[in-house]
């Protein structure tokens, strides 16, 4: 087997080696058909079976209730920012949004193009280092929905609770923490997630929509962005991202073999505990996020002297610890530790951090 680096990329992120090996083995000749999955009609019985199995496995993994549709769409999570509003926000309505960082701000900007947005709470007052408690939220009386991002991939800020919004549909951008720990899908009206972190390759976004929210799209909503059209056509109104869908299916199978989301949650907890412990035990490394809002998936950290950033990154690269550079808007470092990045990767990172501190601290 070829040598695989420890990949801490925020996305597109590491995929399980076993999944890539399986895709490699099936690349030229899927199941004796003599063609690659990429070369199959999306309407063929074989491809439809691949797609349906992927959906069923995802349903099993997240225990998705039967009154939810699972849609395999395109345009990334960024397109969902508009799609949510076009489908759920009436022209004369209002939607409540919670601002916890760069991704929620983008969703707010995009929804504002289509209707009235009330920013019901913002982490700005906490310099985006903590999440305002629900007692601080100013929710509208008649909101069409409440939207938030469960994990801010860049800031490293994650909800460890699900907002309670009564009968108002709760909409969540779960791009960077879906499948990382157990959730109760029935608490949400709509969950969406770009694939390229915990699901599969980019080119795909998964939306899980409660059925009563279908059919509310405004008349100007493009056909391709209408959730009901997607649902009525099994996400095949047009040609879907067939290969990304197939590969995501392999990831779902892998997740089931690993023991499902509950097992991943245990593993992810051990990973993040190890990394935050190393950061907190040192005066050389720091992470500013409030303890209860620290992300399990994206761990930003700073070195005491930012002049050492380049040296740190070069040393990391030389050890096969890749993509640790923080987002350009934040600086410092960021270790993204999604499902496919194992405890061994975090152990290697923590060992390197200790070594680096000894030499430069």
Identify the residue among 76, 93, 234, 361 touching ligand PMP (CB under 6 A). 76
The active-site residue, picked from 30, 57, 177, 197, is 197
Q: Which is nearer to ligand PMP, 177 or 265 (CB)?
A: 177
Strands, E assignment, the chain: 6-7, 68-73, 94-99, 116-122, 146-149, 151-152, 157-158, 170-173, 190-194, 205-210, 285-286, 298-303, 321-322, 333-336
Please indicate if the annotation marks 318 as binding a ligand.
no
For residue 204, the 8-state DSSP code is -
Report 258-287 residues binding ligand PMP (CB under 6 A).
Answer: none
Please indicate if the annotation marks 100 as binding a ligand.
no
Please indicate if the annotation marks 238 as binding a ligand.
yes
Look up 103 and say whether it is catalytic: yes
What track of x and - describes contact with ligand PMP for positions 171 through 200 (by CB under 6 A)? --x-xx-----------------x------
> What is the rounded CA–CA span in Å between residue 269 and residue 177?
13
Whole-Å CA distances, 84 to 2, 112, 238: 42, 11, 20
Interface stretch with ligand PMP, choices 51-59, 169-177, 227-235, 249-257 (CB under 6 A):
169-177
Residue 33 CB contacts under 8 Å (≥ 6 apart), including other chains: 40, 46
- Binding to ligand PMP by residue 248, rule CB under 6 A? no
Q: What are phi and psi of 172, to 5 degrees?
A: -130, 135
CB of 118 to ligand PMP, least distance (A): 20
> What is the rounded CA–CA span in Å between residue 160 and residue 148?
13
> What is the rounded CA–CA span in Å between residue 167 and residue 130?
26
Look up 173 and say whether it is catalytic: yes
What track of x and - describes contact with ligand PMP for positions 124 through 153 (by CB under 6 A)? -------------------------x---x
> What is the rounded CA–CA span in Å between residue 355 and residue 352?
5
Please indicate if the annotation marks 43 as binding a ligand.
yes
Torsion region of 9: left, alpha or beta (phi above 0 gives left; psi -120 to 50 gives alpha): beta
Number of residues that bind ligand PMP (CB under 6 A): 11
Q: Which is nearer to ligand PMP, 285 or 325 (CB)?
A: 325
169 contacts 191 by C-beta, under 8 angstroms: no
Please indicate if the annotation marks 173 as binding a ligand.
yes
Which spans of this chain sit near ligand PMP (rule: CB under 6 A)? Answer: 11, 76-78, 103, 149, 153, 173, 175-176, 194
**Catalytic amino acids?**
103, 173, 197
Q: Which residues fall in the annotated binding site for pyridoxal 5'-phosphate?
A: 77-78, 103, 153, 173, 196, 238-239
């Amino acid at each position: 087997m070829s040598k695989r680096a420890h990949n801490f990329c925020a996305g597109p992120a590491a995929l399980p080696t076993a999944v890539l090996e399986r895709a490699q083995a099936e690349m030229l000749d899927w199941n004796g058909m003599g063609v690659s999955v990429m070369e199959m009609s999306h309407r063929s019985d074989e491809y439809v079976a691949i797609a349906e199995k992927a959906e069923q496995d995802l349903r099993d993994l997240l225990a998705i209730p039967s009154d939810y549709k699972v849609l395999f769409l395109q345009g990334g999570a960024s397109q969902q920012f508009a799609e949510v509003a076009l489908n759920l926000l009436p022209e004369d309505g209002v939607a409540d949004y919670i601002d916890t960082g760069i991704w929620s701000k983008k969703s707010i900007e995009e929804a504002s193009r289509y209707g009235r947005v009330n920013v019901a709470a913002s982490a700005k007052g906490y310099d985006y280092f903590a999440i305002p408690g629900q007692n601080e939220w100013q929710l509208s009386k008649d909101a069409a929905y409440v939207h938030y991002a469960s994990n801010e991939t860049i800031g490293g800020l994650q909800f460890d609770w699900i907002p309670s919004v009564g009968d108002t549909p709760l909409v969540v951008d779960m791009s960077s923490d879906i499948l990382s720990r157990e959730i109760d899908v029935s608490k949400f009206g709509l969950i969406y997630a770009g694939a390229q972190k915990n699901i599969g390759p980019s080119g795909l976004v998964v939306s899980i929509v409660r059925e009563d929210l279908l059919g509310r799209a405004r008349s100007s909503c493009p056909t391709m962005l209408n959730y009901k059209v997607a649902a009525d056509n099994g996400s095949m109104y047009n040609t879907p991202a067939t290969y990304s869908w197939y590969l995501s299916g392999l990831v779902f199978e892998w997740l089931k073999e690993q023991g499902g989301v509950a097992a991943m949650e245990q593993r992810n907890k051990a990973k993040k505990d190890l990394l935050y412990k190393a950061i907190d035990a040192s005066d050389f490394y720091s992470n500013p996020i409030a303890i209860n809002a620290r992300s399990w998936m994206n761990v930003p950290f700073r070195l005491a002297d930012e002049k050492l950033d380049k040296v740190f990154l070069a040393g990391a690269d030389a050890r096969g610890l890749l993509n640790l550079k923080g987002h350009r808007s934040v600086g410092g470092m960021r270790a993204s530790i999604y499902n496919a990045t194992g405890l061994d990767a975090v152990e290697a990172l923590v060992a390197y951090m200790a070594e680096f501190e000894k030499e430069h601290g």
